Amino acid sequence: MRLSRKKAAQVQLQAELNTDDEWNKFINRDGLLVIDVYTEWCGPCIGMVGNLKKIKVELGGDNLHLAIAKSDTIECLKRFRKRSEPTWMFIAAGQLLNVVFGADAPRLARTIEQELQNEELARKGERERPKRAPHELTPPEQEVAEAKEKLQQERRAREEAAVEAARIMRRETRACRLETHFADVCPALVMPHAQKHLRKITDALEPHGVILADKCPILLGKDGVRVLGVEELELATEAAISAIAERPSLALLLKKTPEKDGDVIELCRRALYGDGVKTGDGEPNKKVPAEELRAESTPGVYVPADRHQRAAVLDLLFPKQMVSSLVEPGPPPTAPHIALMFGAWQRRALLAVCDTSRLLHYGFFADASLTEPKLLAKNIEQYELRPEKDFSETIVLMIAVGLAAPELADPKDIPPQGPPEQLLALGPLHVSEDAVVGAEECAKFFPPGYSEPEPKPKQKPKKKKKFSLQTKRHETKEDLTEESNAQSQSIETGEPGESEAAVEGDNDGDAEVEGDVEGEGEVEEDGEDGEEQQAVDKATSPPPPAPH
């Protein structure tokens, strides 16, 4: 009875708001409204109920109304859904007066007393209420939001700079490797509408010491055109994509003659684009082939402008027949990533909700150390084979928070920024500050070669025993003689022979041993069950709360 009366008193003290209709109805009540905003996974602040009841009786009376509101199901409160600290909203006449964060009872009492006085003055017309809807931010909230936005912008700038630096490093490395074999070679691409003017291109190149070494038709498709669009912005337009993607172009391999000095890229650009060519005074400007072959906004021919572009276009136009035969392709770029650490007991829930396309690596570690992690297992199968598990053991996920080459991706395929919400909802022990810090942390958890399979130990071959034919015949003859003598002796005396007695004795002994083994097995089985139950608790349950 006492419990039910106490619960009824709490229900009367604080109204429960779970829907938009209940919220809209409650905020239009007269007086000062103090609302405890909570989330489903955190719950309302129960420890403040006694203080609120005392304040209502002593100060508020009928002018003070209390409620708890679930932000998960009320649209107006969506900005509080990711918060875990107690949140108190002060509303009067449908306007948001104040927001207080934290379970500071004296501060909450002072704020309620002050807002009650302000509301009394507002009713008398001596004070004007602030014009602020409940979904709008208060000035302190606005300051916090602006500070967070500034931090996020700085974080994004660091991440973008790191991605760009990694891209430049990859391009430089690839250019250096290809330059060893293709220093005197330059690729080019003739668009579908300009292929009939190939002779004009070769004639323009010949005076500059550049010849056509090879040519082949190629259908680039949208992905190939997107790669070209990164190198040449004119090829990234919708008109260029539609003109090139579905019709075959002509790939050219241009080569500098041995007697000609200079860089082959500069020679090709000078011949086709007029780069570096100075016209004299009074001389008419002569159109270069690149301008003559242009069809509206679509170029007729494309030649790389530097060694980085040359390497990218060689990989695109001549990947198999020439480039791969001389230079191995580089390792695929790694997407920007962060580290998320959880208790190992959450492993099944984590792997069930984690998007595998964003999960780059994961592993199990002995504790929560970020500086000196001790690896226990690289996958869940290895971890489950461990006979003993402990609450201190952790699982670390390496999660992609972007794409390695976002410039080549379709905008709809770019994942949202930041860690996945479904993982954050499980309460990680640690989350990397940003992708720059995440790369440093993941390098400690997942060093180079982490994903390579571990070599299996070689089994030693068993040595076969060598028997000579003469020894084998001698042993067989002696065994037959002893067995026949034992049988004849048993027939004369009527007693079982040694072999029969031995068999019977062995059977009896086996029965006794079997009984002993069964008894021992039952005892050991009980003990193993107890130990296994304890291990399962540590493996699949959260750690016990620390004693107060």
Degrees, nearest 5: CA angle 397-401-403: 120
Please name every residue paired with 210 in a beta bridge, in sequence order, or none if there are none: 256
Burial group, residue 360, by CB count within 10 angstroms (0-12, 13-18, 19+): middle
As given in the structure block, the two tokens for residue 284 are 């008419």
Cβ-Cβ contacts under 8 Å for 228 (sequence gap 6 or more): 189, 220, 235, 236, 244, 302, 313, 316
d(Cα 166, Cα 17) in Å, to the nearest integer?
51
Here the tokens at position 204 are 């323009």
Per-residue confidence (pLDDT) for residue 527, from 0 to 100: 46
Nearest to 39 by CA among 72, 66, 75, 79: 72
Q: What is the pLDDT of residue 528?
A: 46
Cβ neighbors of 195 (< 8 A, separation 6 or more) are: 249, 250
Q: List the Cα angle 366/374/334 in 5-degree steps.
A: 115
Strand order in the sheet with 32-38: 14-17, 64-70, 32-38, 87-92, 95-101
Cβ 297 vs Cβ 240: under 8 Å = yes
**pLDDT at residue 501, rounded to an integer:** 43
- Residues 6+ away with beta carbon under 8 Å from 504: 496
Residues 510-538: b if buried by 16+ CB within 10 A, e if exposed: eeeeeeeeeeeeeeeeeeeeeeeeeeeeb
Whole-number Å distance between alpha carbons of 92 and 31: 6
Residue whose tokens read 């971890």: 383
Separation between Cα atoms, residue 545 and residue 250, nearest integer Å:
70
Q: Tens place of pLDDT for every residue, the chain, 548 residues?
A: 333 444 444 445 788 899 999 999 999 998 899 999 988 877 777 777 777 878 887 776 788 899 999 999 999 999 988 787 889 999 999 999 999 998 888 898 899 989 999 988 998 888 888 899 999 999 999 998 899 899 989 988 998 899 899 999 999 999 999 999 999 999 999 999 999 999 999 999 999 999 999 999 999 998 898 899 989 888 888 888 888 888 999 999 999 999 999 999 999 999 999 887 665 544 456 788 999 999 888 899 999 999 999 999 999 999 877 888 888 888 888 999 999 999 999 999 999 999 998 999 999 999 999 999 999 999 999 999 999 899 899 999 999 998 888 877 777 777 777 889 899 988 899 999 999 999 999 999 999 989 887 766 666 666 655 545 454 455 555 555 555 555 555 444 444 444 444 444 444 444 443 444 344 444 444 444 444 444 445 667 777 765 54
Report the half-sphere exposure of 357 (CA within 13 A, side-chain side).
7
| pLDDT at 519 (0 to 100) | 42
> Residue 285 CB: number of other CB atoms within 10 A?
8
The pLDDT score that the predictor gives to residue 62 is 80
**Predicted local distance difference test score (pLDDT) of residue 515:** 43
**Tokens 């792997």 identify what position?**
351
- Please give the span between the terminal C-alpha atoms of the chain, in angstroms, as a whole number: 30
Residue bearing tokens 């003559």: 292
Contact, 105 vs 55, CB < 8 A?
A: no
b/e for 33-63, b at 16 or more Cβ within 10 A? bbbbbbbeeeebbeebbebbeebbeeebeee
- Angle, alpha carbons 228-230-234 (nearest 5°): 70
The predicted structure's pLDDT at residue 447: 94
Token digits for 34?
Answer: 């103090």
| DSSP 8-state assignment for residue 7 | H
pLDDT value of position 470 = 53
pLDDT at 330: 81
Q: How far is CA 373 from the centre of its chain?
A: 19
Q: Please report the domains of the chain, with CATH numbers, ordered by start residue.
A: 15-136 (3.40.30.10), 181-318 (3.30.70.141), 337-445 (no CATH)
